[in-house]
Amino acid sequence: MVYDEINHLTIDPNLEIERIIVGSFMNETRRTVYPINEGSASTGTIGFLDYSIESKTSDLRIILMGIEPNFKNEGYEYKLLETVEEKAKQLKKKRIFYIPKGNDISCFLDRGFKLKENFLEKKLS
């Protein structure tokens, strides 16, 4: 696994959206998972996780996580979740939450997230 190739980027400073990427840098229009037609931000050749730091609350919100099909089931989703959890703890956030986008949530459950009515939540100590 290419864990040493994890980078943090600011995608939209106005919305406080950050991206964690795994793999080499590539333009986000080239990704196959959650494809987009136009964009200038970088993403990772293996995958990415976008999150927002909720400045008015003690929450960190995961917006979207995607792993390229060739790298599914290799554990990268766990490393992205571990990395965002470390970031939340550095920022002294009390909770991470995610509204699933129809993808598999088992990695979230394995990392200690709890399923609520329409979202996943992990409380931090």
Q: For tokens 């919100």, what's the residue? A: 61
Domain positions in the chain: 3-123
pLDDT (tens digit, 0 to 9) for every residue of the chain, 125 residues total? 344 466 666 666 666 788 899 988 888 777 777 767 676 677 888 999 999 987 778 899 999 998 999 998 899 999 999 999 999 999 999 999 999 886 678 999 999 999 998 999 999 98
Distances in whole angstroms, Cα of residue 20 to Cα of each of 73, 87, 117:
19, 10, 27
Rounded Cα–Cα distance for residues 31 and 124 (Å): 32
Q: Domain spanning 3-123: which superfamily?
A: Gcn5-related N-acetyltransferase (GNAT) (3.40.630.30)
**Strand-pair category, 17-22 with 6-12:** antiparallel
> Which of 100, 79, 86 lies closest to 3, judged by CA?
79
pTM of the model: 0.84
